Structure 1
């Protein structure tokens, strides 16, 4: 290899990348005419020919580098070639371009880095890769990684199986594909985003250009032709439609920011749900749980790719799936029970127990042996503890008469006639010896951990008398999520017919009653009350009456959605007979409790929200935020999450409503919020007016997080004020943004916002006039708010307790940055750029060469973090569930923020873990800490001073220990969870007092 192609690399283990070689065999196939010029003393071989002649003609050295495309794509390189600074684009790429340029029309260095931000320069240096392209060719392809949105290795592998003779195992699918014989590349898709067959049919002139050798394939033409807006990539994307439907995109296309509308769609529009062609609604399509799951797990790059793949392989899925009727699902439930019968009859079930049982399970059965055994198998499999099974055989005529041969250890109460459900339960209750009794139907199946969750809930508080389940019918619609007793004595299963996963069905609350299909209660209470009242025999309303008597005795009935049961409604009796008994017993129930019922809500579905909690005296708070405040999001969301948790702990009933629609998972929601909090995850600002009207009079307080949300909501709240609490709105500013806007303009050299600071404050806080109280995150922000005549200000900071990690100074290594990157205009994004561009070059010689900067935190999909990955000391780890190991392993936390507002949570959090902080003077002033005592700080206008502060703290153990201890003491005093709780309670109580 000639020295002109030498790559700058100091590693002793340097391995020449595949793209760097001159592939002589390939080169000769492309240019057979060169054989006439080879063999002389001046040009002895192909390599010499390429060096002295070929690269001047614009030849490519191998299939992995496209010389002509490179020159066209980077005109500045072409200019350098013409000036004689480089002999070819390949020479430029080998010497400098490999760092950030793309070498081929089918691989994008930027896209590869952006798609896989964990592929940092630190990783490449450690594992011996020169750049992303080197990694992709050597390892990424085999891992199924995508280097260009128009080349999916999985589809290429499928193509290779059809044409094995054309794919070289040594070159891999990428090299083989770009070197395929003419016309073959157009035979199959290698991306869901481009259809070569349709493309050539739609544009027959392209086939002629390919035949003339101007383009290698249809895909090559689409990606490199000089009129990109004149061609559609496939049947289901239309440039004309996209330009017309999304006019806001066109200025960016006209300015050349995007090559065409399709490039914008693939970068942003697909994720935003923009329509690619008439009749394709990606928002609706993405709302399907299966589609969301497939995209979130990386099976497809986006919903459009999913839609195309589904249309080609499973078009039936695109049609709205018709759910089977309930009659069909009921029949299936019965068939499944019958299918299990032989297995259970052979293997049996064992309910033997030693000593005092934990639970007495009461089940009344009349025939239906298959259903009974299915229910008992579900019970036994659901809970391994000691169960006393009290099985009442109420005059069965089928194999139930011999059930003791199958079910060992059961206490069977057998009656020759059908004594009915109510009397059967009472007979069994008299025999119950466990402290907990469970009424359980024989026509149901228990979902995982139902028994254990119910037991835990029952014992959670001493005044809980009974626990009920989320009952789901066989058609996977709700039977009830707790039940309501109306003023006329009628009952209503809350959210009946709805999806079991809706927010309203998935938080713990006290209710009027729960169905005895699954009702767990304290045995002593049941016996004191005499079980079911015999006036309701044979059945129906006995459970509503029992629950009401439990409540009137001073105990609570709690609905717990983690106790989930599938129920064959009316499986134990005919529906017509059941309806007749229901009507009769309703009249009895209404007479028996008419004095109590007068205080219940009138019977109307619009009153269901008011009635869903049993006469709950807890105050109800509606918390409004940008989005459901997951802790992993950072940027004030941790504090919002702490506010919600504390409200719940103080005994308030909290509903969280997001202004913006953002996808969250059930796992995230269940992990980050108390089980008693209602999370509205399917609505946003567009639904707020209807939501408030549906819940007229329900809330005692409205807590609005972030001033911009209050500004958005103000017109709606003015219009719907009759449905909202009078004088009951609190604005939690989270940050006063006006100073930050001025600082940002000054730091970045932008035109400042018009007006003085006071004028900007008045404009920002104008919406606060609607509110009874304004909350600031710090005394500094509170003073700014008072500056524009708001005296109704309270301060609520952060909730943290000191929890220093164990490692000593000498055991720690590296620098840590933690911060969410929600957009590229954010303070965190700017601070990272400043740290890497301005500070790190000064810091480099001051630190050992193996020291790296770990960057952790949530990254919004729209944020390109690949720019950070190029720096040799950066290790990107993204959002982590638990940051404790990072705080324990690193030596210093850096907070290089140049413009910000509010109170920096990240500094408090790092300090609470015992990790000393180097921050800008701006942040040090916001927390009120002294340089050299609780924090190290320097001006954001002096990168050298900031670098010196990092180096000094990194090397000086005594200083490190002093700063660590000082910050821990500050956290213990200023961020005490008890202090946070007391402050929040005071704010709420002041607003609840008339």
Structure 2
């Protein structure tokens, strides 16, 4: 493929940016941390290996037990007609990896003449129902639904092998998405290829198994997504809803198009039909009815297409035109499509900028947009990539996105809006976006004004070289703001500053986004002090060094039992050295912050330079944990000393504020309550919703 000028500009800007950031890192972090960043930047991109497909070992029949419960959350209905060996494999898979959710399993025998009638009664826990005569798939499913006791019905073909975790993933989707009416699994061929990632229905009633024969790990098929229908081989639906709809429509008897019809009926009730790739089911397609549409039961597929098209004529007029090939963009239309690009996949358990970005994308999804995320480093980020997909965000990575330019050339036409986060990412990607997505509105998310943070750090260090670097960053950021259609900042202070510098620019405030959490333990059961912040961020390193070296000894002299818990990824050697002081514990990254949010008495934000709003302050206040901070740490956060925070900028004053708050239960409670109210008013998702809609959805 030929290389365009946009490709060349992208590579040149990336090289220049890497050099600039590397030199700046050397000056502020030193050689060791900088080398670690370089290694991370150029690390080989390795796609995590998918879990091997589980297939029960073939063995002669012997009695065994399947999960059973008298008050099940789910009733798994398995219609069968002969093929006892396949039914046995399906049940063995359910027995070998029982779900966490309570369930019952009903096998509905539609008049089998093989070993089914002999084997099924010997399986402990199984509810076995034999119909008096063969009536077909729809009749068997409806009979099973009538007998079910579960809150949800899960229809499962007997020629399937459900993979570990499949049922819990289906059911959890209803909890995470209360507007879901039907959820379908990812269907996989026994050789590991994808069989179906939700179905597409065309305007003439014909259908398409989206993703057929592709990789199940392809980002196009790996995220939660609305689908026109999901194959009845493995679908879940609330039991009351299924019964209200009258079950599977018998006009399609004995089989075919009943699952597509159910999906359309669910959507007609104002509920969503969702494809859930975290629920993986191996399906031996065609075992029961074959694949020849000219004969046998399979012939009903052709007949019932006409029946379906007549019933849903109005709804089908809004479906894609027959003969078009479904693409990643077309299967989510007419939803507004938004591309978000950041340096790497956000890690909301590690830093506040990541939490803000994830919550921003969640808001857009909740408001009906389809969000696509592309990390500039193209790395698969393990659980963090999976987290985005669970939220319904289409998250890409190598090798499926091998080069940013080639990916944008293929996908750029999809997007109504493109958001570029951080000035060095925006500088690289903006020419590509203007070339390959000229129709898209470009939003520049500053995350925070980097030049402001750099300038303050240079002033504190008295480093003229850093001051010059900060001015170069300022020029780049202001240029990008001029070129973008809209710019996001995180505080009114930054918006007002830009209004003076660039009065014609469209600048909006989207601050940190938090959900108010449980308030944790009461004052009397809390102990110690806590700081949370990643140490790849120089202001955090400076803050902890200053507090540990100058402030904490003053506190410890008057309260010898107090400990200072320092939490954050990649602590530097200087930070780790603080542990030589009594009472200081450097934890590094912790898997769970909750115990420290719920159990530490005071959170600290002793920042001496920085920009934007501080996630560590928001995080603690959202948990009802009072904060002692510097003026820099609360800039633009609508906080008032003595009302919802205590503020001090010198060592003696900071120590005095900590000691005062540590001993005063009434003051502690007042700050805790008012801090939570501040989050609700200024930093909740609801507080930002109008701005987000104005920027992205209008």
| Residues 992 and 804 of structure 1: CA distance in aligned 2, closer, same or farther (over 3 Å) | closer
| Residues 746 and 529 of structure 1: CA distance in aligned 2, closer, same or farther (over 3 Å) | closer
- What SS does structure 2 have at the residue aligned with 1:900? coil
TM-score, normalised by the number of residues in structure 1: 0.58
**2:285 matched to which residue of 1?**
569
Match among 534, 538, 541 for residue 829 of structure 1: 541
Q: Deviations over 1:344-371 (max 9, x none)?
A: 3xx46697x87x9876654443432221
Structure 1 residue 878, shift from structure 2 partner: 1.3
| Residues 384 and 961 of structure 1: CA distance in aligned 2, closer, same or farther (over 3 Å) | closer
**Contact (CA 8 Å) 2:661, 2:667: kept in 1 or not?**
no
Q: Distance in 1 between matches of 2:137 and 2:435?
A: 53
Q: Distance in 1 between matches of 2:517 and 2:66?
A: 52
Q: Deviations over 1:362-413 (max 9, x none)?
A: 44434322211222344564488564725234453x3234345435641101
**1:413 matched to which residue of 2?**
131
Identify the range of structure 1 (788-797 vs 922-931) with the bigger mean alpha-carbon deviation.
Answer: 922-931
**Contact (CA 8 Å) 2:210, 2:326: kept in 1 or not?**
no
Structure 1 residue 933, shift from structure 2 partner: 5.7
Q: Distance in 2 between matches of 1:815 and 1:360?
A: 49
**1:974 matched to which residue of 2?**
678
**2:496 matched to which residue of 1?**
783
Q: Distance in 1 between matches of 2:681 and 2:396?
A: 26
**1:4 matched to which residue of 2?**
none
Match among 497, 516, 521 for residue 213 of structure 2: 497
| Residues 448 and 799 of structure 1: CA distance in aligned 2, closer, same or farther (over 3 Å) | same
| Residues 778 and 528 of structure 1: CA distance in aligned 2, closer, same or farther (over 3 Å) | closer
Alignment of 1:938-949 (within 5 A): 938-939=648-649, 945-946=650-651, 948-949=652-653
Match among 566, 569, 591 for residue 855 of structure 1: 566
| Residues 882 and 694 of structure 1: CA distance in aligned 2, closer, same or farther (over 3 Å) | same
Match among 495, 498, 521 for residue 806 of structure 1: 521
Structure 1 residue 715, shift from structure 2 partner: 1.3
Structure 1 residue 990, shift from structure 2 partner: 2.2
Q: Deviations over 1:714-762 (max 9, x none)?
A: 111111123x53xx33333221122222222222221256779999645
Q: Deviations over 1:870-927 (max 9, x none)?
A: 5555321012233343345545443332221111222333345455544334335554
Residue 371 (1) aligns with residue 90 (2): no
**1:612 matched to which residue of 2?**
331
Structure 1 residue 786, shift from structure 2 partner: 0.8
Corresponding pairs, count: 663
Unaligned 5+ runs, structure 1? 1-247, 256-262, 275-281, 294-322, 324-328, 940-944
Alignment of 1:517-528 (within 5 A): 517-521=233-237
**2:13 matched to which residue of 1?**
none
**Contact (CA 8 Å) 1:742, 1:753: kept in 2 or not?**
yes
- Which protein has the bigger helix share? 1
Higher relative contact order (CA 8 A, sep 6+): 2
**Contact (CA 8 Å) 1:394, 1:424: kept in 2 or not?**
no
Q: Deviations over 1:126-185 (max 9, x none)?
A: xxxxxxxxxxxxxxxxxxxxxxxxxxxxxxxxxxxxxxxxxxxxxxxxxxxxxxxxxxxx
Match among 439, 442, 451 for residue 158 of structure 2: 442
**Contact (CA 8 Å) 1:802, 1:971: kept in 2 or not?**
no
| Residues 575 and 891 of structure 1: CA distance in aligned 2, closer, same or farther (over 3 Å) | closer
**Contact (CA 8 Å) 2:94, 2:162: kept in 1 or not?**
yes
- Which protein has the bigger strand share? 2
| Residues 893 and 343 of structure 1: CA distance in aligned 2, closer, same or farther (over 3 Å) | same
**Contact (CA 8 Å) 2:534, 2:568: kept in 1 or not?**
yes
**2:274 matched to which residue of 1?**
558
| Residues 980 and 673 of structure 1: CA distance in aligned 2, closer, same or farther (over 3 Å) | farther
- What SS does structure 2 have at the residue aligned with 1:564? strand
| Residues 784 and 684 of structure 1: CA distance in aligned 2, closer, same or farther (over 3 Å) | farther
Unaligned 5+ runs, structure 2? 1-18
Residue 773 (1) aligns with residue 486 (2): yes
**Contact (CA 8 Å) 1:350, 1:409: kept in 2 or not?**
no
TM-score, normalised by the number of residues in structure 2: 0.79
**1:902 matched to which residue of 2?**
612
Q: Distance in 1 between matches of 2:363 and 2:697?
A: 20
- What SS does structure 2 have at the residue aligned with 1:467? strand
Residue 481 (1) aligns with residue 197 (2): yes
Q: Distance in 1 between matches of 2:240 and 2:170?
A: 17
Structure 1 residue 765, shift from structure 2 partner: 2.2
**1:98 matched to which residue of 2?**
none
Task: Answer with 1 or 2: which has the greater Rg.
Answer: 1
Identify the range of structure 1 (463-472 vs 382-391) with the bigger mean alpha-carbon deviation.
Answer: 382-391
Structure 1 residue 558, shift from structure 2 partner: 2.4
Q: Distance in 1 between matches of 2:517 and 2:267?
A: 43
**Contact (CA 8 Å) 1:897, 1:923: kept in 2 or not?**
yes
**2:382 matched to which residue of 1?**
665
Alignment of 1:261-272 (within 5 A): 268=36, 271-272=39-40
Q: Deviations over 1:618-645 (max 9, x none)?
A: 5443333332222222152222233233
Structure 1 residue 780, shift from structure 2 partner: 0.8
Alignment of 1:527-546 (within 5 A): 539-546=255-262
- What SS does structure 1 have at the residue aligned with 2:62? helix
| Residues 701 and 495 of structure 1: CA distance in aligned 2, closer, same or farther (over 3 Å) | same
**2:655 matched to which residue of 1?**
951
Structure 1 residue 555, shift from structure 2 partner: 4.9
| Residues 962 and 660 of structure 1: CA distance in aligned 2, closer, same or farther (over 3 Å) | farther
**1:678 matched to which residue of 2?**
394
- What SS does structure 2 have at the residue aligned with 1:787? helix
| Residues 984 and 704 of structure 1: CA distance in aligned 2, closer, same or farther (over 3 Å) | farther
**Contact (CA 8 Å) 1:703, 1:730: kept in 2 or not?**
yes
**2:14 matched to which residue of 1?**
none
Structure 1 residue 713, shift from structure 2 partner: 1.6
| Residues 698 and 927 of structure 1: CA distance in aligned 2, closer, same or farther (over 3 Å) | same
Q: Distance in 1 between matches of 2:172 and 2:34?
A: 49
Q: Distance in 1 between matches of 2:296 and 2:369?
A: 41
Q: Distance in 2 between matches of 1:533 and 1:803?
A: 46
Alignment of 1:371-390 (within 5 A): 371-379=86-94, 381-382=98-99, 385=102, 387=104, 389=106
**1:843 matched to which residue of 2?**
554
Q: Distance in 2 between matches of 1:785 and 1:337?
A: 66
Alignment of 1:657-736 (within 5 A): 657-662=374-379, 664-666=381-383, 668=384, 675-682=391-398, 687-722=403-438, 724-725=439-440, 728-736=441-449
Q: Distance in 2 between matches of 1:680 and 1:914?
A: 36
- What SS does structure 1 have at the residue aligned with 2:592? coil
- What SS does structure 2 have at the residue aligned with 1:632? coil
Residue 514 (1) aligns with residue 230 (2): yes
Identify the range of structure 1 (264-273 vs 549-558) with the bigger mean alpha-carbon deviation.
Answer: 264-273
**Contact (CA 8 Å) 2:78, 2:156: kept in 1 or not?**
yes
Q: Deviations over 1:634-681 (max 9, x none)?
A: 152222233233334444433333223455333x55568863333335
Q: Distance in 1 between matches of 2:177 and 2:599?
A: 40
Structure 1 residue 485, shift from structure 2 partner: 1.9
**1:343 matched to which residue of 2?**
62
**1:797 matched to which residue of 2?**
511
Structure 1 residue 433, shift from structure 2 partner: 8.1
**1:213 matched to which residue of 2?**
none
**Contact (CA 8 Å) 1:606, 1:694: kept in 2 or not?**
no
**Contact (CA 8 Å) 2:618, 2:683: kept in 1 or not?**
no
Q: Deviations over 1:324-350 (max 9, x none)?
A: xxxxx9xx95xx4641x4223xx4669
Alignment of 1:31-430 (within 5 A): 268=36, 271-272=39-40, 283=44, 286-287=46-47, 289=49, 336=56, 338-339=58-59, 341-344=60-63, 347=64, 362-379=77-94, 381-382=98-99, 385=102, 387=104, 389=106, 391-396=108-113, 398-403=114-119, 405-407=121-123, 409-415=127-133, 421=137, 425=141
Residue 991 (1) aligns with residue 675 (2): no
**Contact (CA 8 Å) 1:640, 1:705: kept in 2 or not?**
no
- What SS does structure 1 have at the residue aligned with 2:448? coil
Q: Deviations over 1:463-514 (max 9, x none)?
A: 6443321212222332222111234544332333344344443433321111
**Contact (CA 8 Å) 1:484, 1:611: kept in 2 or not?**
no
Q: Distance in 2 between matches of 1:529 and 1:917?
A: 53
